[in-house]
Amino acid sequence: MSTNTNNETMQTVTRRVDAAVIGSGFAGLSAAYEAAKLGKRVLLIDKMPNPGGNSVMNAGQIAAVGSPNQEKAGIKDSVELMKQDMLDAGVSLNHPNLLEKMISQSWDTVKWTMTEFGIQYRDRLTQMGGHSVPRTLSTMNHSGRDIIDPMLSKIQYMPNVKLEMKTKFERFILEKNDENGQDEVAGIEVSHNGVTQDVICDKGVILASGGFSADIPFRKIQVPTFGEKVMSTNQPGATAEVIKESLKISALPVQLSHIQLGPWTSPDESGFGLAPFFCIGAGFPYGIIIDPDTSTRFVNELGNRYERSMAILKMCHPVVCMTDSEGAKHSLEKDLTKLEPTLKAHNSIEEVAEEYGMDPIVLRETIDKYNASVAMGEDEDFGKLLREDAAPLVKFPFYSVRLWPKVHHCMGGLHINSDAQVMHVDGYPIKGLFAAGEVTGGVHGGDRLGSCATLDCIAFGRIAGKNVATFNKKKEGDLHNVAT
Amino acid sequence: MSTNTNNETMQTVTRRVDAAVIGSGFAGLSAAYEAAKLGKRVLLIDKMPNPGGNSVMNAGQIAAVGSPNQEKAGIKDSVELMKQDMLDAGVSLNHPNLLEKMISQSWDTVKWTMTEFGIQYRDRLTQMGGHSVPRTLSTMNHSGRDIIDPMLSKIQYMPNVKLEMKTKFERFILEKNDENGQDEVAGIEVSHNGVTQDVICDKGVILASGGFSADIPFRKIQVPTFGEKVMSTNQPGATAEVIKESLKISALPVQLSHIQLGPWTSPDESGFGLAPFFCIGAGFPYGIIIDPDTSTRFVNELGNRYERSMAILKMCHPVVCMTDSEGAKHSLEKDLTKLEPTLKAHNSIEEVAEEYGMDPIVLRETIDKYNASVAMGEDEDFGKLLREDAAPLVKFPFYSVRLWPKVHHCMGGLHINSDAQVMHVDGYPIKGLFAAGEVTGGVHGGDRLGSCATLDCIAFGRIAGKNVATFNKKKEGDLHNVAT
């Protein structure tokens, strides 16, 4: 049961809880909170020194259908429409049952973050790439921290939740169901500072460990071109060990080879960086992307992530995202000095051309043409949905960043049913095992739309937390056969 | 070890061989032959009543670089060029090490089928969709049987190979390596007419069980749109049980959600049918595909399978493939009466229009425009690479079939290294376990080019067979701890 059991002096410690949750991002915190609120003793572990996982690096955006914000703005939206948007982006690889479950409770999910944790959102909705209508709510500081921090604050004071950092999941503890011979998850083995513990979970285990974007050996088996030379936006803990241990107990993976690139990242900074905050808020909706080789546009700046990333990769060199001083005001990071030196300022079109080796005459034509499109309200060249408040690029300084896609999100992962139960290769739910968020697959299919991951994590995190709490795995005292 | 061991009167039979091969298509026969030729005792099993699997339904085509046929025709080809063609079709998801290994020995593979089994190929090469040059050899009758039958004849008389039909693989027999604690494959449990046997394999097990195109529950988890309503070209035995049992022993899958549709199948016949023989040989290279709603062409008839299938599916209704009497002479099935009533003959353009509810005037324009392209030698509309002997469609009767894609090939499967060893989730080869052909993943990536599957199966089948024979799994007598 433990790597240390051979050594008599290194006796394995055994603990007993109702539920263990692996990972402390959106999904893990939501799951732990719901289970704890139903009175269960929850152990919440994270291998990293700081809680929040990738969620703290998130832009604090969440898509929802039927918000009062939509009603106020007169935006017509529906579960069907958002589902179709996600299917279109996901090339219909999405699991419809998961989409329906998640989207139908999308506004409830946002409301829950407001009522339970006091999280606040801006009134104005954003229409992100690939979404048919504005439906994305943004936190006040455009940061996942705006959600993670209040959640953590509340959860840390719950007497029946214990959050343990630098505590690593090692493997599952299984027991066989005498009636059907199926393996069930009885608990997990964890390690902390070299000490191993067996954690027996009377109700079950929830996997909320995220994706594997930073796990080069694992991801490059699924997508060989995403090897050492492609950077990742993710924190270094975004690795595959939980998925691998799940595969070893016959959890079925889905669509592991569908891995998303982020089109808004810069090669001039590490990780997710700050360039995306400029591009998502300002550069893409209020500016243009230019190939420095031709000094022209080449893609719909608000197309889906796959289209944009592939269009940039096809250039075989970084490209440039640029807007003017008015456009730059929409940057999600308001203090543009924080973006230096990745973000550059230019006092003339010639300066832009000089910086990137472009042809100043062609660049001016490109800008003039885009400005004419904005004036007409229609982008004939690339079909970009121009914002009502989009304006011609005229006011200097212009601002620009170089773009090169990075590995951002794993659409594939463990197959779950709509109760967040992890499915066995043979088609039944593995008893005692739940999962939510990026560790699962099937919600986003072939490509994920922006602001749908936060919804995915919180909605299925809650489902997993509530279900683990009410899950009648076995009668009391049935754990006597668990070796320690 | 066996489902029957609880019952004292149903004692499990135990046999001992050097290698067991599961599946009797191209890959399984090639593997069994190579292992047997190296003096090993081989048990070759197939769950179906007749040997050959899907390979007998294959069109008998195999791609090779560097054949004398290419040299004679002055065709410049290279391993790099074919690799690039496969990467382009496979959207670079292909594993480069597998491509290089396979393509570099492609002509050797064809030669081996000639010298060992006397298989004959036509002199003339075919340039199939997605291939940059003509490199595909065809058997005399354009049938996989031309390869399977001679292989079977020879293998059946080898004293150290036993072919057992209606014998189903049930599960792996594992034993633990005392030194590293890793599970190794010691053998397999099989069943035949309700009797279970443990087959201990001193050298190893080779999986050559094909894809899961006919396994609706399994395939629709990976691609939800490929559910009950989509037909398959495959024989009913193309199911996932070998892959599932492999996942249960922690074999790592790759790209399971990449499943190919065949664009040349007809909804008017079951399975693979005969329409593909008409379309591949005649209708696509020497004719046109028409949307009956608009009476116009809409796709490059020689584009890759994904492009063509998706273009047809997008129509939401079956389309029509048509050529004239001259074009129809190129049908791979020469006796066109065998294709009736799926294939229809028409004595005028008006008859074609009448049959499919097309507009006869627009249809005539479509044909005139295509005929003008053929005369010019360039298809400006869809970029089809026109054959040198392509001729205008003028000679009645015209022949046509309705087309609707069917699930045809699983690009994804078990992850192997270039020695055909099945890889464990933790990144090492599972000792004693080999795989070849459609049960594996990574060779074809996101989409498979025509005539590359036969090469894949035979090349890696041979590698697996040779490697299982020379594989030093363990010293003699190490099997004492295998329970029976």
Contacts of B94 in chain A (CB under 8 A): 224
Any idea where the domains of chain A sit in the sequence? Answer: 13-257+409-481, 264-404
CATH architecture under which domain A264-404 falls: Alpha-Beta Complex (3.90)
H helix intervals, A38-95: 68-72, 79-89
Paired tokens of B248? 């249960």
Catalogue the active-site residues of B. Answer: 305
% of chain A at pLDDT higher than 90:
88
**Cα gap B413→B443, rounded to integer Å:** 10
The average confidence (pLDDT) of chain B is 93
Looking at the complex, report in whole angstroms how far the Cα of residue B447 sits from the nearest Cα belonging to chain A: 13
Asked if A437 reaches chain B (Cβ–Cβ under 8 Å), the answer is no
C-beta of residue B94 within 8 angstroms of C-beta of residue B86? yes
Q: What is the pLDDT of residue B484?
A: 28
Dihedral over Cα of B352, B357, B360, B362: its sign: negative
Q: Is the pLDDT of residue A291 over 50?
A: yes
Asked if B227 reaches chain A (Cβ–Cβ under 8 Å), the answer is no
Axis-axis angle for helices B79-89, B96-104 (nearest 10): 140
Question: pLDDT tens digit string along A364-397?
Answer: 999 999 999 999 999 999 999 999 999 999 999 9
Q: Is A372 helix (H, G, I), strand (E, B) or coil?
A: helix
Q: What is the pLDDT of residue A284?
A: 97
Paired tokens of B285? 């290279």
C-beta of residue B168 within 8 angstroms of C-beta of residue B150? no
Q: Is the pLDDT of residue A278 over 50?
A: yes
Q: What is the pLDDT of residue B12?
A: 66
**Cα gap B373→B366, rounded to integer Å:** 11
Question: pLDDT tens digit string along B368-407?
Answer: 999 999 999 999 999 999 999 999 999 999 999 999 999 9
Residue matched to tokens 């393509």? B103
Higher pLDDT, B307 or B274: B274
Looking at the complex, report in whole angstroms how far the Cα of residue A220 sits from the nearest Cα belonging to chain B: 9
Asked if A223 reaches chain B (Cβ–Cβ under 8 Å), the answer is yes
Paired tokens of B483? 């329970």
Q: Is the pLDDT of residue B477 over 70?
A: no
Question: pLDDT tens digit string along A189-202?
Answer: 999 999 999 999 99
**Cα gap B368→A222, rounded to integer Å:** 47
Nearest to B403 by CA among B474, B296, B313: B313
Half-sphere exposure of A24 (CA within 13 A, CB side): 29
pLDDT band of residue B189 (cuts 50, 70, 90) is: very high
Query: Smallest Cβ distance to A255: which of B222, B247, B250?
Result: B222
**Cα gap B286→B269, rounded to integer Å:** 23
**Cα gap A367→A290, rounded to integer Å:** 10
Q: What is the pLDDT of residue A11?
A: 57
DSSP 8-state assignment for residue A402: E
Helix (H) or strand (E) holding B218: helix B216-222
Looking at the complex, report in whole angstroms how far the Cα of residue B265 sits from the nearest Cα belonging to chain A: 22
pLDDT band of residue A306 (cuts 50, 70, 90) is: confident
pLDDT band of residue B13 (cuts 50, 70, 90) is: confident
Q: What amino acid is encoded at A477 in this protein?
A: G
Question: pLDDT tens digit string along A75-99?
Answer: 999 999 999 999 999 989 999 999 9
**Cα gap B261→B258, rounded to integer Å:** 10
DSSP 8-state assignment for residue B12: P
Nearest to A222 by CA among B260, B446, B408, B240: B446
% of chain B at pLDDT higher than 90:
87
Q: Please indicate whether residue A308 is annotated as part of the active site.
A: no
Q: Is the pLDDT of residue A484 over 70?
A: no
Query: Smallest Cβ distance to A254: which of B92, B222, B248?
Result: B222
Q: Do A255 and B257 touch (CB under 8 A)?
A: yes
**Cα gap A196→A6, rounded to integer Å:** 13
In Å, how far are A25, A29, A454 from A45, measured between CA atoms? 11, 10, 20
What's the CATH fold of domain B13-257+408-481?
FAD/NAD(P)-binding domain (3.50.50)
Question: pLDDT tens digit string along B205-221?
Answer: 999 999 999 999 999 99
C-beta of residue A188 within 8 angstroms of C-beta of residue A16? no
Half-sphere exposure of B274 (CA within 13 A, CB side): 15
Q: Is the pLDDT of residue A465 over 70?
A: yes
Asked if A254 reaches chain B (Cβ–Cβ under 8 Å), the answer is yes
Mean pLDDT to the nearest integer, B118-123: 97
Contacts of A223 in chain B (CB under 8 A): 93
Helix (H) or strand (E) holding A433: strand A429-435
Question: pLDDT tens digit string along A390-402?
Answer: 999 999 999 999 9
**Cα gap A260→A39, rounded to integer Å:** 38
Nearest to A90 by CA among A443, A410, A348, A419: A443
With CA atoms as reference, the chain B residue closest to A416 would be: B221
Paired tokens of A277? 């905050």
Contacts of A253 in chain B (CB under 8 A): 253, 256
Neighbours of A71 (CB within 10 A): 11
Give the angle subtended at the CA of A271 by the CAs of A265 and A274, to the nearest 5°.
55
Paired tokens of A29? 């915190």
C-beta of residue A459 within 8 angstroms of C-beta of residue A111? no
Which of B425, B428, B440 is the mutation pick for testing A, counting most A CBs within 10 A? B425
- Chain B residues 77-136 within an 8 A CB cutoff of chain A: 92-96
Axis-axis angle for helices A145-156, A106-117 (nearest 10): 60
Dihedral over Cα of A107, A444, A252, A56: its sign: negative
Contacts of A96 in chain B (CB under 8 A): 224
Backbone torsions φ then ψ of A456, nearest 5 degrees: -55, -50
Whats the size of chain B, residue-wise? Answer: 484
Higher pLDDT, A407 or A306: A407
Tally of helices (H runs) and strands (E runs) in chain A? 15, 20
Question: pLDDT tens digit string along B313-339?
Answer: 888 899 999 999 999 999 988 999 999
H helix intervals, B237-379: 241-248, 275-278, 284-286, 305-315, 325-328, 349-356, 360-376
Mean pLDDT to the nearest integer, B17-39: 98
List CB contacts of B355: < 8 A, sequence separation 6 or more: B344, B346, B400
Q: What is the pLDDT of residue B483?
A: 31
- Residue tagged active-site, from A41, A135, A305, A308: A305
The average confidence (pLDDT) of chain A is 93
Which of B87, B222, B314 is the mutation pick for testing A, counting most A CBs within 10 A? B222
Question: pLDDT tens digit string along A117-132?
Answer: 999 999 999 998 889 9
Q: Is A461 helix (H, G, I), strand (E, B) or coil?
A: helix
Nearest to B200 by CA among B184, B212, B186: B186
Burial B25-38 (b: 16+ CB within 10 A, else e): bbbbbbbbbbbbbb
Q: Under the phi-then-psi rule, with left for phi > 0, alpha for psi from -120 to 50, and beta for the rest, what region is B116?
A: alpha
Whats the size of chain A, residue-wise? Answer: 484
Contacts of A427 in chain B (CB under 8 A): 217
What's the CATH fold of domain A13-257+409-481?
FAD/NAD(P)-binding domain (3.50.50)
Residue matched to tokens 């449990």? B189
Residue matched to tokens 């059991």? A5
Q: Do B217 and A427 touch (CB under 8 A)?
A: yes
Q: What amino acid is encoded at B261 in this protein?
A: L
A278: Cα separation from own chain's centroid: 19
- Chain B residues 15-54 within an 8 A CB cutoff of chain A: none
Question: pLDDT tens digit string along A399-449?
Answer: 999 999 999 999 999 999 999 999 999 999 999 999 999 999 999 999 999
Q: What is the pLDDT of residue B478?
A: 35
In Å, how far are A73, B15, B234, B394 from B34, measured between CA atoms? 71, 21, 27, 51
pLDDT band of residue B304 (cuts 50, 70, 90) is: confident
Q: What is the pLDDT of residue B306?
A: 82
**Cα gap B160→B462, rounded to integer Å:** 17
**Cα gap A425→A248, rounded to integer Å:** 11
**Cα gap A68→A75, rounded to integer Å:** 10
Question: pLDDT tens digit string along B238-263?
Answer: 999 999 999 999 999 999 999 999 99
Q: What is the ipTM of this complex?
A: 0.87
Q: What is the pLDDT of residue A474?
A: 53
Q: What is the pLDDT of residue A481?
A: 32
Residue matched to tokens 């604690």? B181
Looking at the complex, report in whole angstroms how far the Cα of residue B92 sits from the nearest Cα belonging to chain A: 7
